[in-house]
Amino acid sequence: MDAVEAIDRLLEVSDDVRTVVVFERGGEPIASNLSDGKAAEAAALADAMLAYADTMREGAAVQQLRAVTQGGDVYLRRDGDRAVLAVAAPESMPGLVQHDLRALLTVLPRRRTRRKAGATA
CATH fold label, 3-114: Beta-Lactamase (3.30.450)
Per-residue model confidence as pLDDT tens digits over 25-42: 999 999 999 999 999 999
Please tell me the distance from the alpha carbon of residue 80 to that of residue 2, in angstroms, as a whole number.
17
Its sign, for the CA torsion 107, 110, 116, 121, is positive
Please tell me the distance from the alpha carbon of residue 71 to that of residue 57, in angstroms, as a whole number.
28
Domain boundaries, the chain: 3-114
59: pLDDT confidence band, cut at 50, 70 and 90? confident
Per-residue model confidence as pLDDT tens digits over 93-107: 999 999 999 999 999
User: What pTM, to 2 d.p., does this model score?
Assistant: 0.86
> For the residues 62-81, what does the mean pLDDT come to?
94
- Beta-bridged to residue 69, according to DSSP, are 72
Burial class from Cβ neighbours inside 10 Å (0-12, 13-18, 19+) for residue 80 reads exposed
Ramachandran quadrant class, 103 (left: phi over 0; alpha: psi -120 to 50; beta: rest): alpha
More confident residue, 112 or 4: 4
60: pLDDT confidence band, cut at 50, 70 and 90? confident
